[in-house]
Amino acid sequence: MSTGPQPAGPFPKIELHVHLEATVRPERLLEIARRNDYPLPVETVEGVRRLYQFRDFDHFIEVWILVTNALRREEDFRQVVVDYAGEAADHGAVYIEGIFSPIERVARGVDWDEIFSGYCDGIAEARARHGVEVRFSPDVTRGASVDWAMKMVQVAARYRDRGIVGIGLGGEEARFPPEPFESVFRTARDAGFGSVPHAGEVVGPASIWGALRTLEPDRIRHGIRAVEDPELVEEIRTRGIVLDVCPVSNLRTHAVATPAEHPLPQLVAAGIDCSISTDDPEMFDTDLSRDYALATSYGIAPRTFYEAGLRGALCDAETKASLAGIAATYDWSSVTAGGWSRSPDASPD
Residues annotated as part of the active site:
201
Question: Residues 174, 280, 180, 201: what is their CA dihedral angle, to the nearest 10 degrees?
Answer: -40
Distance in angstroms (rounded) separating the CA atoms of residues 188 and 27: 36
Distance in angstroms (rounded) separating the CA atoms of residues 280 and 286: 8
Distance in angstroms (rounded) separating the CA atoms of residues 46 and 59: 19
Reduce the secondary structure of the chain to three states and give it as a string.
CCCCCCCCCCCCEEEEEEEHHHHCCHHHHHHHHHHCCCCCCCCCHHHHHHHCCCCCHHHHHHHHHHHHCCCCCHHHHHHHHHHHHHHHHCCCEEEEEEECCHHHHHHCCCCHHHHHHHHHHHHHHHHHHHCCEEEECCEEECCCCHHHHHHHHHHHHHCHHHCECEEEEECCCCCCCCHHHHHHHHHHHHCCCEEEEEECCCCCHHHHHHHHHHHCCCEEEECHHHHHCHHHHHHHHHHCCEEEECHHHHHHCCCCCCHHHCCHHHHHHCCCCEEECCECCCCCCCCHHHHHHHHHCCCCCHHHHHHHHHHHCCCCHHHHHHHHHHHHHCCHHHCCCCCCCCCCCCCCC
